[in-house]
Amino acid sequence: MTNDPADLMSTIPSDHFSPELYAETLRKAKSLGYEFPTVSDLRAGASTCAPFLLLRHDIDISPRYALRMAELERRLGVQSSYFVLLHSLYYNPAAPPHWDALRQIISMGFEIGLHYETDFFENRGIDPLVGVLHDVAALENILEIKIVSVSQHRPASSTFLQKLNDHYVDAYNHDLIQNVRYISDSGHKWRGETLVDLLGKEQRIHALIHPVTWTFADRDMAATYRHASEEITSEIHNSLEEFIASTNHYLAKREQLDVQRKAQYAASPAPSTST
């Protein structure tokens, strides 16, 4: 038996996820009369409406996958909340393609919030509360929106959540985790029953749905992330190739202009030296 993390990952079979299954799930929820509130809609508490399916999307890999999911939800008339990482290694919400995707999600009426990481600040000697508040302000400025809700990327203490709830609606607050049926597709693996299984059995459901998990049909966790890696790598490669081409064009044009200026200077009459 190996201790290689890659080998250990491959021994755990993933559950099935696909855009088609997601659409089927939403259609079933709608047929059963579920409402689709956003995280901020439940600021007053989970008991304010029922039955409901709270769809929360943490954007861990790319806003482009989130946009595909938002487009599907819009076609089906479903509302949800999307949470953006500000310190991701894989995307930058201020970069043109990612900004464009997020702004499209916003324009379709979906909620955007901050997907925060307390350990990012703790590892750098920064007060996590101060860091999260600064990140919210930064994301608001980048996307030109007002943020009302947040979602943690990695577990935060209950004390921290209590402090943060004084400022924003946290998707992991006690009410939205303990007083509803919480379910997550993390790791491409449901814990027991699937979301489809719960529809009709539970009146209040909080589902964490990662867009990338459902983007590529019939791929397990490892294959999904490797394919996403290939797409992200290809985007960076193509962008750098465009940069190389545009730089070469600029240099060639600059050299041509330099030659023209020298020729014009050589052809100009010498300045008179008479008094």
pLDDT in tens, 100-119: 999 999 999 999 999 999 99
The predicted model scores a pTM of 0.87
- Assess whether 198 and 256 both reside in one domain: no
- Assess whether 213 and 230 both reside in one domain: no
Given this model, what pLDDT does residue 12 score?
Answer: 79
Q: Which residues of 167-192 are buried (b: 16+ CB within 10 A; e: fewer)?
A: ebbbbbbebbeeebbbbbbeebebee
Lookup: tokens for 175: 């009410």
Q: How far apart are CA 72 and CA 215, in angstroms?
A: 11
- Assess whether 90 and 185 both reside in one domain: yes
The pLDDT confidence band at residue 258, using thresholds 50, 70 and 90, is: confident
pLDDT in tens, 67-85: 999 999 999 999 999 999 9
Given this model, what pLDDT does residue 1 score?
Answer: 43
Q: How far apart are CA 109 and CA 81, in angstroms?
A: 10
Domain span including residue 114: 15-218
| 10 inside domain | no
Given this model, what pLDDT does residue 27 score?
Answer: 98
| 2 inside domain | no
- Assess whether 172 and 237 both reside in one domain: no
| 48 inside domain | yes
- Assess whether 240 and 116 both reside in one domain: no
| 273 inside domain | no
| 72 inside domain | yes
| 21 inside domain | yes
Averaged pLDDT for residues 202-216:
96
Q: Kindly tell me if the per-residue pLDDT of 11 is higher than 60.
A: yes
The CB-side HSE value for 121 (13 A sphere, CA atoms) comes to 19
Averaged pLDDT for residues 208-229:
94
Number of domains into which the chain is organized: 2
> Phi and psi at residue 222, in whole multiples of 5°?
-60, -45
CA distances from 136 to 114, 116, 123, 133 (A): 6, 9, 19, 5
**Which CATH number covers residue 78?**
3.20.20.370
- Assess whether 235 and 182 both reside in one domain: no
Given this model, what pLDDT does residue 255 score?
Answer: 84
| 97 inside domain | yes
